[in-house]
A and B are shown apart, each in its own frame.
Chain A
Amino acid sequence: MELPVISNTPPTPLTTSGGGCSSSGCGTAPDALGHLPDHIRAKVQDHPCYSEEAHHYFARMHVAVAPACNIQCNYCNRKYDCANESRPGVVSELLSPDQAIKKVLAVAAKIPQMTVLGIAGPGDPLANPTRTFETFRQLAERAPDIKLCVSTNGLNLPKYADEIAKYNIDHVTITINCIDPEIGARIYPWIFWENRRIRGVAGARILIEQQQKGLEMLTARGILVKVNSVLIPGVNDRHLKEVSRVVKARGAFLHNVMPLIAEAEHGTYYGLMGQASPSAEQLQELQDDCSGDMAMMRHCRQCRADAVGLLGEDRGAEFTMDKIDQLSLDDIDYAAAMVRRKEVHDAIIDQLDQQRETRRAMPPPLSGDSRNPENLSPAWRTVLMAVAGKNGVVGEHFGHAREFLIYEASPSGVRFVSHRKTGLYCSGTESCGEGDEASASSLVGEPESVLDKTIATLTGCEVVLCSKIGYEPWGKLEASGIQPNGEHAMEPIEDAVLAVYKEMGSAGKLAEKPVGQASSRKAA
């Protein structure tokens, strides 16, 4: 391993490396947090998990120091660990607090964009208080420029709220899937509470009480709280809007509704029992529903409990434990790294400020009837379009897109609504140990082609914009009622979506319901 004394990457903080989704494209709704008071905005402007803008530029890492858990969730299987997997609760190696410190300092020196260190598992951090707080204590001392955050199921939150405040942990994420114990009993089979395993409704009731109490205690201490909810169709889908309303009233500043991940090969209760995951459309509908009540987060990538890097990428493999173990703390000149980190952070913040200024100076592309230079008819219906984006432009080949950015065009403008992944979470069963038997029995028959799956994720979209697209997908997309469009390659995404919307309007296609296939453009 190269010893990361100080970063050897060139000082180009604004080049977002490799993975993730680069640039404005990925749902930069800059004012999604606009309702927040200034001091909170200042706190989240460089936090990739909270600020949609920040997540293009700032990186986060999780250290897996917290293996124990005190509840069981039906979407979690503690036996599962697969290097190909990227989802919460999964890690490849556990770290001791000392190893975690070394890893964090090494990463922070090598990736100056890394602003945030989280402890998110793989169990519940507050069920591992000694390891969790020892890690935070050492980090607060050695790396005061790193923001600390913690994710929890909330059961032990009231007990540790003061300790969380003590270590200057200013962001906490609580996973709250319900506020009704009857619903909770269908999500949590048991909790461990006051020396007993408590099952069913009784257990769920205690968990919910502690979560809500913990949320209030944290907000009373000035700690920012984000609430994560897992959308489980048929279980809490109708209930989450109420959850959103209640957690907002108790002081949460952001709500992140994530889709259930339930594959049989993961061996979870939901996976094995055939519980459906939500479609991208269902998720989006619910996010829209809840957004009336509070700020919704739409750029979450549901990362692993040991992820490293920008959201959507994972550089964990560069910092494995054997490499970290070879390091001595003395090898890391953190004081020097901190100077450099500050320069990089300041440059990014400056650029974000400038972008914000520019946007403010420009007239909004679309606004009310009085200023409607775009000639959009108020009678036009709303259209969803999928974009294979890269660096803020329609820059990706259809077949290379690992995710599509979904935009909504309507007479009131163009807005980002979500991203939809195309890739599989797990590419094989060979290394998945526990999953083998389950997947063998569930994967009988002809597998759906990757293309079919991709098209299925685009359900509800009428147009897909990309830089290029092959003949086969073109035909299949058209047959599915989705119009491929390669004519706006390399144009800024919002402009391209607006242009296509106007073309559709002028061609009279926005007067009524979608009509399946539309134009006769040729494949690029």
Chain B
Amino acid sequence: MALQIVHACVNCCACVEVCPNEAIYADTPHFLIDEAKCTECLGEYADPQCAAICPIECAIVNELGDPINPPGSLTGIPLEKLIELGLYKAAA
């Protein structure tokens, strides 16, 4: 089990600083998580640390590919507003 960083990542390094397993490394075009090292912080912290500090919605996903921080969850911008502005397309 491991989390994954995907294309939305802006390379801000915040997750690298807080990962207790040193599982996160710089790569191009964005940071990646070493799945052999990632424990999803189980047993150590209540929340996976990378996802708890990440400022970008949808940048970190679980094994199923679902974002830990879905659209609107960090900025507080309502989904309808994001859809109206064309910044989010609801899954078909």
B55 and A273 form a contact (CB under 8 A): no
Closest to B78 in A: A273
Please pick, from A67, A197, A438, the residue contacting B53 in the complex, using a CB distance under 8 A. A197
B45 and A195 form a contact (CB under 8 A): yes
Query: Across the interface, which residues of B come within 8 angstroms of A127, CB to CB?
Result: 14, 17
A189 with B55: in contact, given A196-B47, A197-B47, A441-B86 (CB under 8 Å)?
Answer: no
Which of A27-35, A68-76, A108-116 is found at the contact surface with chain B?
A68-76
Q: Does A167 contact B (CB under 8 A)?
A: no
Please pick, from B11, B14, B45, B46, the residue contacting A69 in the complex, using a CB distance under 8 A. B14
B53 and A78 form a contact (CB under 8 A): no
Query: Across the interface, which residues of A come within 8 angstroms of B55, CB to CB?
Result: 69, 72, 78
A70 with B85: in contact, given A189-B74, A269-B77, A272-B77 (CB under 8 Å)?
Answer: no
Looking at the assembled complex, report how far the CB atom of B16 sits from the nearest CB atom of chain A, in whole angstroms. Answer: 8
B87 and A189 form a contact (CB under 8 A): no
Query: Across the interface, which residues of A come within 8 angstroms of B16, CB to CB?
Result: 68
Query: Across the interface, which residues of A come within 8 angstroms of B79, CB to CB?
Result: none
Query: Across the interface, which residues of B come within 8 angstroms of A57, CB to CB?
Result: none
A196 and B81 form a contact (CB under 8 A): no
Q: Report whether over half of chain B's contact residues are helix, strand or loop; otherwise say mixed.
A: loop
Query: Across the interface, which residues of A come within 8 angstroms of B81, CB to CB?
Result: 272-273
Query: Across the interface, which residues of B come within 8 angstroms of A189, CB to CB?
Result: 74-76
Q: How large is the interface on A (under 10, 10 to 19, 20 to 34, 35 or more residues)?
A: 20 to 34
A72 and B14 form a contact (CB under 8 A): no
A68 and B17 form a contact (CB under 8 A): yes
Over the window 426-438 of chain A, the binary record of Cβ atoms lying under 8 Å from chain B Cβ atoms (1 yes, 0 no) is 0000000000011
Query: Across the interface, which residues of B come within 8 angstroms of A272, CB to CB?
Result: 77, 81, 85, 87
Query: Across the interface, which residues of A come within 8 angstroms of B17, CB to CB?
Result: 68, 127-128, 130
Kindly state the separation between the CA atoms of A130 and B18 in the bound complex, as whole angstroms: 12
Kindly state the separation between the CA atoms of A194 and B81 in the bound complex, as whole angstroms: 32
A437 with B86: in contact, given A79-B10, A127-B17, A128-B13 (CB under 8 Å)?
Answer: yes
Interface residues of A in 433-449 (CB under 8 A from B): 437-438, 440-441
B12 and A69 form a contact (CB under 8 A): yes
Closest to B12 in A: A67
A196 and B74 form a contact (CB under 8 A): no
Chain B interfacial positions (CB closer than 8 Å to A): 10-14, 16-18, 45-47, 49, 52-53, 55-56, 74-77, 81, 84-87
A–B Cβ pairs within 8 angstroms, 6 of them: A128-B17, A192-B14, A192-B18, A196-B52, A269-B75, A269-B77
